[in-house]
Amino acid sequence: HHEILLQIPMEPYDYPDNDPGPQTLLTALAPEQNLDRLYWHLSRFQGYAGIANFMGARFVATDTAMAPIVKEAAKRGLGYFDDGSARSVAPSLMAAQAVPFARADVTIDGVPTSAEIDRQLAKLEGLAKERGLAVGVASALPISIERITAWTKTLDSHGLLLVPLTTAMMKSKSS
């Protein structure tokens, strides 16, 4: 079962040196301008279960910038996936809006080598056993896909189940 999330380019700390792309949501823009940019992204595509930040460490850490985006997601019944940025205000904003929400617990391929990916997958597995649920995030690198594919084949024997992200989002909404 595959779910699609729409990544929304958001301002990183080193913007514009590091540019997420056209119609990036920026902390210096008025909420209406960022909402116009969000609408632009939302209109490019359909069938997504939620939205996610693309880059955006500065944007997701800024309450006044994030709040209108969260409200809009709530209004549209969209979940929000946070890539795990340490300073993100998303968790508290999502709870206040009762938006289905998930946050990455582990970045699986921050170091894209077989050994490191396997180590991060083991860490993800440990968290899942400890908490009952854990969320990993990875890029679509060939090495990542290869290692994750191999890992998913071992989950049954480890007593674990892979679930869609919206399942994790709904669980967080109800807890």
Q: What is the mean pLDDT of residues 132-151?
A: 95
Please give the single-letter amino acid code of residue 81. Answer: F
| Whole-prediction pTM | 0.88
Task: Report whether 105 contacts 134 (CB < 8 A).
Answer: yes
The residues with which 51 forms a beta bridge, in sequence order, are 6, 80
Q: What is the pLDDT of residues 26-78, one digit of tens each?
A: 999 999 999 999 999 999 999 999 999 999 999 999 999 999 999 999 999 99
Q: What is the pLDDT of residues 79-92, one digit of tens each?
A: 999 988 878 898 88
Q: Which domains does the chain have, with CATH numbers?
A: 5-103 (3.20.20.370), 106-163 (no CATH)
**Cα(105)–Cα(56) distance, integer angstroms:** 17
Task: Report whether 24 contacts 70 (CB < 8 A).
Answer: no
Is the sign of the CA dihedral 175, 56, 6, 31 positive or negative? positive
Which residue blocks in 4-153 are alpha helix, DSSP H?
Answer: 31-42, 57-60, 63-75, 90-97, 114-131, 142-152
**Cα(119)–Cα(81) distance, integer angstroms:** 23
For residue 100, what pLDDT is reported? Answer: 87
* Residue 42 structure tokens: 């939302």
